[in-house]
Amino acid sequence: MTSLKNWDNKTWLSSKKYITSFNNFILKQKKLNKHSKVLDIGCGRGRILEDLSKRLKLINKPIGIDIENHKDKSKKISFKKIDGLTFISKTKNTFDLILIKQTIHLFKKNQITKFLQHCKKKLNRNGKILILSLDPDQNEIPTFKLMNKTLEKSLKRDKKIFDLIINIYPKLLIKSFTYPVKILKKNYLKMIKKRYISTLLNFTKNQMIDGLKEINIKYKKELIFKDNLICMIIKK
């Protein structure tokens, strides 16, 4: 899986308002209580799990896995530095909720079927898998020209992944999560510079410099847009 060091670092994704809104959405899709067991595959710094743990007063420390071991990760989670397929195929734990947020596209297509099969086997009775990813038909992420071209290519691949998952699990539910973003351009430029999204990871230094200049010219001092996610829900 691709390593993302800055996806939830000092962005709207790490804000208290976003995390509260996101977890409100999660709890509408799956009822949880203090006895629930939760796994987040691709947890980043674990802030979403931390908020859930505090809100529900979880007895069982939620497990977060990621291939990047952030120094500032939450201490409220049981963190494991490992890739998702390896962990889920070997763990003896079972879960009421398995969260896969903006991570499924980082798996190779030929791994996804096996990965989800293992996930479903590790669900408790009435457990659910929630797969969230950028909505390819309602994407509003601010981009520069090359970034947009690469992102559109990635979103087309995501559509194929969604079709694959729907074919495997035709009874799955599809929901949507929308978060209104308002961010200063100077802060968004910092996010771009730190390559906060996987689309930016392989760009050269000069491509990034040109992209930052383009963003600076293209957008006003404040950026206002919607962060739109698709949520696919697989039941036990």
Neighbours of 34 (CB within 10 A): 11
SS3 letters for 12-38?
HHHCHHHHHHHHHHHHHHCCCCCCCCE
**Cα radius of gyration (the chain):** 18
The answer to whether the Cα torsion of 53, 73, 101, 12 is positive or negative is positive
**Residue 114, domain CATH:** 3.40.50.150
Average pLDDT over residues 72-79: 91
For residue 219, the model assigns a pLDDT of: 96
Q: Specify if 167 maps to a domain.
A: yes
Indicate whether 175 pLDDT > 80: yes
Q: Specify if 213 maps to a domain.
A: no
Going by the DSSP 8-state scheme, the letter that residue 137 receives in this structure is T
Summarize pLDDT for 187-224 with one digit per residue, the tens. Answer: 999 999 989 888 898 999 999 999 999 999 999 999 99
196 to each of 44, 47, 89, how far by Cα in Å?
12, 16, 29
d(CA 40, CA 113): 18
Indicate whether 6 pLDDT > 70: no
Least confident of 65-74, 94-103, 149-158: 65-74
Q: Specify if 163 maps to a domain.
A: yes
Q: Specify if 1 maps to a domain.
A: no
Average pLDDT over residues 217-236: 96
Q: Specify if 94 maps to a domain.
A: yes
Number of domains in the chain: 1
For residue 14, the model assigns a pLDDT of: 83
Q: Specify if 56 maps to a domain.
A: yes
Query: Among candidates 206, 197, 1, which has minimal Cα distance to 87?
Result: 1
Q: Specify if 207 maps to a domain.
A: no
Indicate whether 86 pLDDT > 50: yes
| Domain carrying residue 55 | 12-182+227-235
Q: Specify if 197 maps to a domain.
A: no
For residue 9, the model assigns a pLDDT of: 53
In the structure, what pLDDT confidence band is assigned to residue 2 with cuts at 50, 70 and 90?
A: very low
d(CA 32, CA 27): 7
- Say which residues have a Cβ less than 8 Å from residue 124's Cβ, sequence separation at least 6: 37, 94, 95, 96, 236
In the structure, what pLDDT confidence band is assigned to residue 147 with cuts at 50, 70 and 90?
A: very high
User: Containing H/E element for 40?
Assistant: strand 38-41
Amino acid, single-letter form, for residue 134: L
